[in-house]
Amino acid sequence: MEQTIFLTTFGLIFLAELGDKTQLTAMALALRYPWQRIFVGIAAAFVVLNLAAVVVGKVLFLLLPVFWVTLVSAVLFLYFGYSTLRHACDSEGDEDGPPPTAATAARTAFIMIFMAELGDKTQLVTASQAAQYSESLMGMSMVFVASTLALWIVSLLGIFAGKQLVRFIPLCWIHRTAGVMFLLFGVAALWKLKGI
């Protein structure tokens, strides 16, 4: 039974996030910061989000209205889009300031992923899976582990895909594309506000 819960949850979450904004965000962040640092932030964000989805479920959405979560997410994406575009073609040897610290990279990744995924379809799927198997602690644990592992793997795939792109496409153009992508996510989130 536990294996079925694990495989079902893992498959649902993995397929839902493949090519989604989370994976694209991880890819874009990997071009800006060392991958180990951003993965720490991404991994921590998913642990918190999935724990909230499994344990708290619908109560989380009652405490944090979807409108405000979506608005903050939109503003963050627009800010990071602007910031990425602004520095898209800065030369790599340019030493305008100190390199980002591990804490800065991890914090940036955590905030972006947390706000992008709070109330997103994968968190809702995780919450509904946990509700289906809420009669057993093992079932809920399997949902948490499977969902978190699927999100971590999808993020790592995004990170390493981003690192490989640099071999074929100039970094300046990758940064420009990432900046436009962030802006599009921000505009899409603002557009969603009309329906809330």
Q: What is the pLDDT of residues 130-143, one digit of tens each?
A: 777 767 788 888 98
Residue 33 clears pLDDT 90, i.e. is over it: no
Structure confidence at residue 181 (pLDDT) = 78
> What burial class does residue 170 get, using C-beta atoms within 10 Å of its C-beta: 0-12 exposed, 13-18 middle, 19+ buried?
exposed
Most confident range (mean pLDDT) of 28-32, 44-48, 86-90, 122-126 is 44-48
Helices (H), 32-136: 35-51, 58-63, 66-86, 102-117, 121-132
Paired tokens of 56: 């708290």
Distance CA 111, CA 125 (A): 21
Determine the Cα angle at 152 with ends 191 and 65, to 5°: 35
**Dihedral of CA 36/38/41/42: which sign?**
negative
* Mean pLDDT calculated for residue range 162-179: 77
Structure confidence at residue 147 (pLDDT) = 93
Give residue 146's pLDDT band: very low, low, confident or very high (50, 70, 90): very high
Residue 58 clears pLDDT 60, i.e. is over it: no
Structure confidence at residue 152 (pLDDT) = 94
Mean pLDDT over each residue of the chain, to the nearest integer: 79
DSSP state of 99: P
Paired tokens of 160: 């390493």
